[in-house]
A and B are shown apart, each in its own frame.
Chain A
């Protein structure tokens, strides 16, 4: 080594023999480092460590650097093994860190196993997690676990092969398991030891162990549960049953089961001193649900019985139990109930409160006084304890850390058999109120403390609230997580100010940890979907901080496409201290063909009739209207988020077939959707006629996922162009003969439409609060190909208010519609199917479906109108607890009013009219039928002299049976002022015999059975 290099030591030309050299670093220590290189893992992958190590170039080599470098490089998790070697270079030393790169698990797939879910079960059993370190040992273990899963499913000799596909550049390996299931075991012999109390054959039957049936993963559990259920039904709550062994016989391909069962004594639970139904007893006493008897459960039974009777109005109830062994074969558990006097919660009061008024606090408590619904009030010790906790929490969270809440009850002495008034008093000792002094952020090296402070709810001067502090800690953690600090922690320190003991200084101390960035986003599983289709959904990009929120959002976005059955996210090398990490997005595409079908029905009064000819009734008939749906959809069309569907709907009220093209996110834009439809429909939802419709439409929808132009997410706009040819079947038309030809002529309707929807409801299926508004404007124009020119505005607004702790809901819906024809005289008649209608389960319930408003002057059939105003108000009551139904059934009181009018201008003058005007004119038509056709001619044609310009009012009662998919509805309505109308003939002309003329009247009573709330 030339001395000119300025180092005191030179590289050993010939390293000393190993025997003399105890320390391999010593000979190189102090030599200048000339170069550092890496083998096994690319320098790029190791960044930014190599950049840090470059500072060592030129500096003398020291032991500490070697040790630290090895530790840091190994800690990246990218090496299986690593060593550092030295070689002489230009009088110094060239260091090489070399090692075997670590491999991580990429995608794991399992194919070939028989059964609908077995591949998924095997995948789960393999416990191979994407992104985690790959070792051959893990694969061996996975195969072993998969074999066990196969065996549990009756496959005892499966062949499990696996193919490893390496991606050395990404240090990933994909594992594809291919399974050949082999024969599935059948149920063989069953042996039962112990005292089962049943024959083996009976045991087999209860255990569902039919000889020769296939064994699957639920066989053993189902057997145990089946027999246990029998014991429980017999009241043998101490029964024990165990699967001793499950042996597979490879020759016979049978699995033989051996059980031990001891039925134990009959356990009888009795209640003395009070009456309770057997069903309720089973619900209240936990030994039935748990299927076992122990002291804890029996004591829990005491508490539950006490609460039950307290809620029934026995505040002083006492419950004890004793266990009696009547005989070895029978155990009797007796709950002795001392009801005490029946109580009625007379008053609930709060004392000692200064900061909150009593009304505010009473809203928080569950115990309440007797009222019309709860005749004894609501009281139990459990509720009392829960109320104390709720009051305590509200005080603590409003700056009263030392607040104390206690509850007290007072019974008034009464004569035996009388109801004792119960007074419940909550005593509050508020203590001192404390405010926040200062708020500090400490330890935020990678964030502006001012920005973080702005995120917090806790501010100086504010009341000290543990809830706010906890929320603020979560806010800070979320902020750090979103910036890639996945190890960040936040500690909160509170210190009472020395100068002012009413103030507490708050410090959020942040330990940031290492910030992690995205190296690469690896998307796998796309076979048909174009990467460009989903590119916008991926909100994480190389170089970005590894934002956990963005990762979850990306997953959600991908699911939103409805193109994937599964989207998994993982981080490669999750435990390694790599600063730049690879994000794995593993998708499984959904089937491209989808078939869906359904069946439904409606039952209602006044349903339109079919094939009744001259015998049709203007009021329709009570009928069931079944409906069958069948849709075939091709998703992922051309690898894009678009689909084509053939939809068909066959029912009594409507038959429809349509072809639908949907692109819900046009050009990847989350807010713009395109739908093209075309199809044919035949409908009979108005009792007057059967209409057919050949139609096509192009529809653009616009959502607002990010607030823009002051519009929130609740808003949607739909821009549409409709073209349709509507035709009414002449033979079906129930109008006076002269109008038949004109009304049955096929008419083209074409033009633009715009719809605005604003939906702030909390739940579309059963809203408790919020509003829903829709406004639709449709213009049918001649120069767009229409033969009937008209303008239609249809506005609907619903509002929902909940009160009484969200138990009651006051719901209201108002619909206003108006239609105006224009253009040449021959196009001014509004086609029948394009008119405004009202009546039915989701409209004006005083009428059958679409039966409100003007009627034909001769036949009395409804003919729709050019204006409508309908208002429905509902009081949705909380579900009472009923036998059999529990809390699933609730009641609704409703009032509907409104009507359909020949002219929109008639609406407002009719709103205050509650009686049908000029009923005499309707009556006079019976004596002078020809004169009845001399009424005004408007856009809905020739009217009679009978006027329908008034509001009908209907009151009703509804039942709602609540299901997970929304309520099933049964509404009964009574129309207080139904219209009358003359019936002078049918579509063949006037009745030949004037004696057949009669005065028809819409029914007072209607009922509707359907799904969902009315609005």
Chain B
């Protein structure tokens, strides 16, 4: 049980929990009758003077197929996709502002991650993504290009790296906190009689869990603050989220869970 828990934590360290299982036809992309000009694209939201296009929302929805399990089985709606894009835009702007912390992931890391996706993403596995032909067919089926996927993964890794650097450095986990977690969280999960691992053996794992938890807390507050202070404007009323949904919609938060 403990082993299972830590494995999931490590994986989610790289991947947000928000999942998209299917793509949605987006009404805003629909063609108009022949006589009238067709709307190809438009600005749907503005984040501190940075425009988010309807095609960005569409692409986000299509790319969600790569985030297996991130949406917990639900569809990524345009509204949620836009919310993710807004959060990402805010984080990107901070990365540019705090240039010293920003880290571009090496190409090898990006390739390795894409290889993981091809190997592990259920939708991809079903289409035999491990083979080049299967991968290409998968991308074509979802209106994606290799370039789009590469850019997306690069950005995600950059953000994760930023979050690690930005929030992890100042956190100190004390021996008392590890001990408390061991005694009051971990041990009660073992059935009576089940062999219990010694604290020494699991303390480094517990430290990692607590560290990630702290990162999540800090990141969550930071992102909420960014949204509060940022100038965010949604131009398409159909994409406006109810007020309660604002504030914690970026997958980076779940990335550290």
Contacts and interface: CB of A to CB of B under 8 A. Distances in A.
A493 B25 CA distance: 54
Given A70-B43, A71-B51, A77-B49, A28 B38 contact: yes
A79 B42 CA distance: 12
B24 to A, nearest CB: 9
B29 interface: yes
Given A18-B25, A22-B29, A75-B49, A82 B34 contact: no
Contact of B31 (A13, A27, A66, A67): A27
Given A22-B23, A23-B143, A63-B55, A70 B29 contact: no
A95 B37 CA distance: 9
18 contacts: A17-B31, A21-B30, A22-B23, A22-B25, A22-B143, A23-B29, A24-B29, A25-B55, A26-B143, A28-B40, A67-B55, A71-B53, A74-B51, A75-B49, A81-B43, A84-B40, A86-B40, A94-B37
A115 interface: no
A16 B26 CA distance: 14
A21 B30 CA distance: 7
Contact of B53 (A14, A26, A67): A67
B31 A85 contact: no
Contacts of A71: 51, 53
A83 B49 contact: no
Contacts of B38: 15, 24, 27-28, 85-87
Given A22-B143, A25-B55, A81 B42 contact: yes
Contacts of B49: 75, 77, 575
Interface of A: 12-19, 21-28, 63, 66-67, 70-71, 74-75, 77, 79-87, 94-96, 99, 575
B27 interface: yes
A366 to B, nearest CB: 40
B32 A15 contact: yes
B28 to A, nearest CB: 8
Contact of B42 (A18, A19, A84): A84
A85 B40 contact: yes
A577 to B, nearest CB: 9
Interface in B1-57: 23, 25-27, 29-34, 37-43, 46, 49, 51, 53, 55
Contacts of B158: none
Given A22-B29, A22-B143, A85 B235 contact: no
Contacts of B43: 70, 74, 79, 81-83, 99
A96 B40 CA distance: 10
A24 B29 CA distance: 5
Contacts of A87: 37-38
Contacts of B23: 22
A63 B31 CA distance: 16
Contact of A85 (B37, B53, B55, B143): B37
A896 to B, nearest CB: 68
Q: Is the interface of A mostly helix, strand, loop or mixed?
A: mixed
A690 B37 CA distance: 94
Given A18-B30, A70-B51, A84-B42, 11 more contacts: A19-B25, A21-B31, A22-B29, A22-B58, A63-B55, A70-B41, A74-B46, A81-B235, A83-B40, A86-B40, A99-B43
Given A25-B55, A66-B41, A77-B49, A13 B30 contact: no
A363 B143 CA distance: 77
Given A13-B34, A87-B37, A82 B29 contact: no
Given A25-B55, A63-B55, A70-B53, A18 B41 contact: no
Contacts of A80: 235
Contacts of B42: 70, 81-84
Contacts, number: 94
B29 to A, nearest CB: 4
A67 B41 CA distance: 8
Interface string B155-199: 000000000000000000000000000000000000000000000
What 10 pairs between A and B have smallest CB-CB spacing?
A18-B30, A83-B42, A85-B37, A15-B31, A87-B37, A74-B51, A24-B29, A84-B40, A25-B40, A86-B38
B100 to A, nearest CB: 14
A25 B27 CA distance: 14
Interface residues of B, number: 25
Contacts of B31: 15-18, 21, 24, 27
A14 B34 contact: yes
A66 B46 CA distance: 17
A12 B33 CA distance: 11
A85 B25 contact: no
Contacts of B39: 24, 83-85
Nearest to A100: B235
A75 B43 CA distance: 11
B41 A83 contact: yes
Contacts of B58: 22-23
B25 A96 contact: no
Contacts of A86: 37-38, 40
Contacts of B235: 80-81
A965 to B, nearest CB: 47
Contacts of A99: 43
Contacts of A17: 31
A23 B41 CA distance: 10
B126 to A, nearest CB: 20
B149 to A, nearest CB: 15
A954 B94 CA distance: 75
Nearest to B46: A74
A66 B37 contact: no
A24 B37 contact: no
A28 B55 CA distance: 14
Given A13-B34, A81-B235, A24 B41 contact: yes
B61 to A, nearest CB: 9
Nearest to A74: B51
Contacts of A74: 43, 46, 51
Contacts of A94: 37
A67 B43 CA distance: 10
Given A71-B51, A75-B49, A81-B235, A21 B40 contact: no
B6 to A, nearest CB: 39
Nearest to B235: A81
A66 B40 contact: yes
Contacts of B41: 24-25, 66-67, 70, 83-84
Contacts of A75: 49, 51
A85 B25 CA distance: 19
Nearest to A88: B34
Of B25, B40, B143, most A-chain CB atoms within 10 Å? B40
A24 B30 contact: yes
Contacts of A81: 42-43, 235
B53 to A, nearest CB: 6
B199 to A, nearest CB: 44
Nearest to B32: A15
A94 B53 CA distance: 20
Of A24, A28, A83, A99, most B-chain CB atoms within 10 Å? A24
A70 B34 CA distance: 23
Contacts of A96: 37
A461 to B, nearest CB: 35
A291 B30 CA distance: 70
Interface string B195-215: 000000000000000000000
Nearest to A14: B34
A581 to B, nearest CB: 16
B210 to A, nearest CB: 37
Nearest to A77: B49
A89 to B, nearest CB: 10
B25 A15 contact: no
Contacts of A83: 39-43
Contacts of A84: 39-42
B60 to A, nearest CB: 13
Nearest to A575: B49
A79 to B, nearest CB: 8
A104 to B, nearest CB: 14
